[in-house]
A and B are shown apart, each in its own frame.
Chain A
Amino acid sequence: DTEVTQTPKHLVMGMTNKKSLKCEQHMGHRAMYWYKQKAKKPPELMFVYSYEKLSINESVPSRFSPECPNSSLLNLHLHALQPEDSALYLCASSQDRRQGGEKLFFGSGTQLSVL
């Protein structure tokens, strides 16, 4: 299994809603990532988990809250988002971040619209 599975594929939420994005991989990878991608732009790194510990938080607003319950799962909890947060949210995993220059395996993303 070389897939990274993200749910839901599409999400529409109001600015007062609370929702969660989910990501799962069963490749035994020990690094997992959240990226945000606006239309016609490259992915921007948000968070990195290495061995289930948060290792990078790229100055992301607190309305985005990541969680890594175990080595296979990664969640992104959303609360009080703004319309400008509408984007494609990509989850990725890699084998072991400590080696560097890792190949990233991406999920298909969650297309988020904030109304």
Chain B
Amino acid sequence: KNQVEQSPQSLIILEGKNCTLQCNYTVSPFSNLRWYKQDTGRGPVSLTIMTFSENTKSNGRYTATLDADTKQSSLHITASQLSDSASYICVVSAGTNDMRFGAGTRLTVKP
């Protein structure tokens, strides 16, 4: 069983709308959680990192949250743009050398 579960699997929204992607994990011990954006045919790019003590962090139109008690994270995208169309992958690090990838959420932004 994958220890990092993302939902929804795919999402279609209209340009300008907001959306929220979810990541639930059971990875232990928790080190940090990163959200990556992967455009089609390209490598993933890190958007943000969440550590145990952080609840929320923003990077432009992207806002990530972390609830370490419930082991849940979310990525909120505000005022979506066509260029936001991509896969968003949640990666949870356990201990020092173990990174667990979620299956990703495929976001499509339509005009």
Does B41 contact A101, Cβ atoms closer than 8 Å?
no
B43 close to A (CB within 8 Å) = yes
Does A4 contact B43, Cβ atoms closer than 8 Å?
yes
Does B102 contact A98, Cβ atoms closer than 8 Å?
no
Instruction: State the majority secondary structure of interface residues on B.
Output: strand
How far does the Cβ of A13 sit from chain B's closest Cβ, in whole Å?
19
Does A40 contact B41, Cβ atoms closer than 8 Å?
no
> Out of B41, B49, B95, which one reaches A88, CB within 8 Å?
B41
Does A111 contact B43, Cβ atoms closer than 8 Å?
no
> Out of B32, B89, B97, which one reaches A42, CB within 8 Å?
B89
Does A100 contact B97, Cβ atoms closer than 8 Å?
yes
Does A42 contact B102, Cβ atoms closer than 8 Å?
yes
A15 close to B (CB within 8 Å) = no
> Out of A43, A92, A101, which one reaches B32, CB within 8 Å?
A101
Given contacts A42-B89, A100-B93, A101-B31, contact A106 B103 (CB under 8 A): no
The number of A-B residue pairs with CB atoms under 8 Å apart is: 56
A-B contacts, 26 of them at CB < 8 A, read A40-B106, A41-B103, A42-B101, A42-B104, A43-B44, A45-B99, A90-B43, A92-B43, A98-B96, A99-B96, A100-B31, A100-B95, A100-B97, A101-B31, A101-B32, A101-B49, A101-B93, A103-B46, A103-B49, A104-B91, A104-B99, A106-B45, A107-B43, A108-B41, A109-B43, A111-B41
Where the two chains meet, the residues of A that have a C-beta atom closer than 8 Å to any C-beta of B are 4, 40-45, 56, 88, 90, 92, 97-109, 111
How far does the Cβ of A112 sit from chain B's closest Cβ, in whole Å?
12
How far does the Cβ of B93 sit from chain A's closest Cβ, in whole Å?
4
How far does the Cβ of A11 sit from chain B's closest Cβ, in whole Å?
14
- Cβ-closest chain A residue relative to B44: A106
Segment 20-52 of B: residues with Cβ below 8 Å from A:
31-32, 34, 36, 41-46, 49
